[in-house]
Amino acid sequence: MTTPLAGTARAARTTTRLLATRAGEDPDRAAVVVDGVGTLTFGAWEARSDAVARGLLERGLAAGDRVGLLFGGRGWIDFAVAYCAVHKAGGVAVPLSDRFPPAELAFMLSDCAASGVIHERGVRPPPGGPRAWTVDDLENGPGGPVGVEGSEGSLAQILYTSGTTGRPKGVAATHGNLTFGCAFSGRRRPLAHSRHFLHAFPVGTNAAQTMLINALDAEASALTLPLFTPARFGKLIESQRVGTVFAVPTMAGELLKAGIHERYDLSSVRLFGSTAAALPPPVAVALGEVFTNAVIVNYYTSTEAAPAQLTMIFDPARPTSVGRPASPGDIRIAGEGGEPLPAGETGEVWLRSPTAPRAYYGDRQAGTAVFRGHWIRMGDVGHLDGEGYLHLVDRDQDIIKSGAFKISTMKIEAALHEHPEVSDAAVFGTPHAGLGTQVVAAIVSSASLSLREVRAFLAPRLAEHELPRRVLILDSLPKNAGGKVVKRELRERVLSSADS
């Protein structure tokens, strides 16, 4: 539902109101900078999104219509413009990455019944889909405010999950959910210690959407690059004196493997934030040794749970913890029957949203297992220690049940990361006649490590039943657009090789 801007007693907390605030306060300030492409100021963001919103309305966009936003790394500026334009026209933004396969894109657009697609020039939407335009197509014409704004409770965004274990699900968020905690005035803006915050997250991921809201809200300008490479990332840190860096653990591993600290000055970085997955302790330790002036922070959330999250400054005394909430009542460890478990006992992890929670778009049945009031099931298994810190055991679907044991793949992966010749690792289970499931490790290494050598290295660190029974040495691990390892593909590779 949309409401006219005129006559409202209180300005709604929406993305469009947040942009209007920044454009009024800092019209010439850089909001989004894409290395080698260009810069978007807050004033230009406001004016251009007005023009694109008008173009959408002229083409018949109605309140609540879903609009796919299909962009790659070079298109971050037009993506930001299109995102706010859809909201200004009363629509719902559906961010999509050009890295998604065509069949997956077609499914997402069909699943949310998109009325149209705004796409980056040179990026083709899947055939047979809804109407498609570029930002240039829509921006031609008079600008000026369109006079429509969503309410805090109106649907603003549908973001699809990574689909690492099955078909992606659309996670719906309201304006109030997206802008929770944002500063609608110039006081106390986040990341004030930094002129730029740097990331390389692809459009269509939860991490990227967090960066977009940061661009609207933070004191620092968002700096990104069309394609992540460790060398270009390190060069930007040095040349722009970047104070804040955001990455996923796999990117962190690539930065370390490339030895960027040997070629670039990283002393400007004060905060290195890791998200999307738990940061392996050996990687966190190594990051601290490379980014010597930075605190290393792990952010624990999910597409479904945001803005609920835990943050943890890496603490060698608690290497496996992902943090604790400001209020102990915002986290729950539940047993199989849903009953709360005391500290020390392992169960399912639930977080409580501090604002209007998200939901699965058009899929109530799937949502009942994940969303219960303000509580969100994280899909992880873990326990709380005596001081309320959360320690993850594993993803629920990744736990290996082998013989009489339940085995944590995260624990084995952390141990593998301690090996000096291992730059990345993923552990999963495959069927075994005697054990039910056997442990398999996929490793990225420049050395030809044998199964015997890997087991010998792990033997002092793990129990006998946790040692891999099979090892794959790969050039890289299969990952989705968000940088998460797709273990399903690794498992299928092992099974197909066994059948051949």
Distance CA(196)–CA(245), nearest Å, equals 9
CA dihedral 262, 267, 273, 276 (to 10 degrees): -20
* C-alpha dihedral sign at 256, 208, 333, 413: negative
User: What is the C-alpha to C-alpha distance for residues 156 and 174, in angstroms, rounded to an integer?
Assistant: 5
Q: Is 117 helix (H, G, I), strand (E, B) or coil?
A: strand
Distance (Å, whole) CA 298 – CA 213 = 19
Give the largest Cα separation in the chain, rounded. Answer: 74
As given in the structure block, the two tokens for residue 471 are 């090892």
Q: Could you give the count of Cα atoms lying within 13 Å of 362 in the half-sphere of its Cβ?
A: 13
259: DSSP letter: T
List the one residue out of 430, 500, 499 whose CA is nearest residue 469. 430
CA nearest neighbour of 175 among 64, 72, 55, 275: 64
Residues 6+ apart with CB under 8 A from 479: 250, 485, 486
Is residue 5 over pLDDT 80?
Answer: no
Mean pLDDT of 63-67: 97
CA 194 to chain centre: 21
Token reading at 2: 């949309």
* Residue 12 and residue 149 in contact, taking contact as beta carbons nearer than 8 Å: yes
- Span 440-457, average pLDDT: 94
Helices of type H across 59-75: none
The span from the CA of 485 to the CA of 472, in Å, is 15
For the chain, give every residue range classified as CATH 3.30.300.30. 399-499
Neighbouring residues of 459: CB distance < 8 A, sequence distance ≥ 6 = 467
Give yes or no for a contact between 56 and 67, defined as CB atoms under 8 angstroms apart.
yes
Sign of CA dihedral 125, 127, 131, 134: positive
Q: What is the pLDDT of residue 164?
A: 57
| CATH code for residues 399-499 | 3.30.300.30
Single-letter amino acid code for the residue at 294: A
Omega of the bond leading into 307 within 30 degrees of 0 (cis): yes
- Residue 58 sits at the vertex; the CA angle it makes with 54 and 59, to the nearest 5 degrees, is 120
Cα 414 to Cα 285: distance, rounded to the nearest angstrom: 12
Half-sphere exposure of 327 (CA within 13 A, CB side): 7
Note the pLDDT tens digit of each residue in 141-192: 777 889 887 799 999 999 999 765 568 899 999 999 999 999 888 778 999 9
Please report where in the chains the tokens 């109030």 appear, as a residue: 176
Please answer whether residues 323 and 300 qualify as being in contact, where contact means their C-beta atoms are separated by less than 8 angstroms. Answer: yes
- pLDDT for position 200: 96
Average pLDDT value for residue range 378-382: 96
Which of 3.40.50.980, 3.40.50.720, 3.40.50.1370, 3.40.50.20 is the CATH number of 2-178? Answer: 3.40.50.980
Average pLDDT of the segment spanning 250-254: 93
Domain with CATH 3.40.50.980 in the chain: 2-178
b/e code 140-172 from CB counts within 10 Å (16+ = b) = eeebeebebbbbbebbbbbbbbbbbeeebbbbb
Location of structure tokens 């141990």 = 415
Q: Where residue 434 falls among pLDDT bands split at 50, 70, 90?
A: confident
pLDDT band per the 50, 70, 90 thresholds, residue 3: very low
Q: Give the pLDDT confidence score for residue 140 in this predicted structure.
A: 83
Rounded CA separation 477/459 (Å): 24
Instruction: With H, G, I as helix, E, B as strand and everything else as coil, classify residue 45.
Output: helix
- φ/ψ of residue 315, rounded to 5: -125, 115
Long-range contacts of 186-191 (CB under 8 A, 24+ apart): 186/25, 189/217, 189/218, 189/219, 190/214, 190/217, 190/218, 190/219, 191/218, 191/219, 191/220, 191/243, 191/244, 191/271
Confidence of residue 6 (pLDDT cuts 50, 70, 90): very low
What gap in Å lies between CA 282 and CA 316, rounded to an integer?
A: 10
Which of 46-50, 91-95, 100-104, 173-177 is the least confident region?
100-104
pLDDT at 10: 56
Terminal Cα distance for the chain, rounded? 56
Label the pairing between strands 92-97 and 66-71: parallel
Closest CA to 11 of 176, 216, 121, 256: 176
Each residue's pLDDT tens digit, 323-351: 999 899 999 999 988 899 999 999 999 99
pLDDT at 417 exceeding the cut of 50: yes
Q: Which amino acid is at 172?
A: A
Give tens-digit pLDDT for 269-299: 999 999 988 899 999 999 999 999 999 999 9
- Whole-number mean pLDDT of the chain? 92
d(CA 266, CA 234): 7
Region 237-252 average pLDDT: 96
Residue 293 backbone dihedrals phi, psi, to 5 degrees = -100, 5
pLDDT of residue 499: 56
DSSP state of 315: -
Q: Which of 425, 356, 362 is nearest to 168 (CA)?
A: 362
Query: Beta 131-133 vs 116-119: how paired, if at all?
Result: parallel
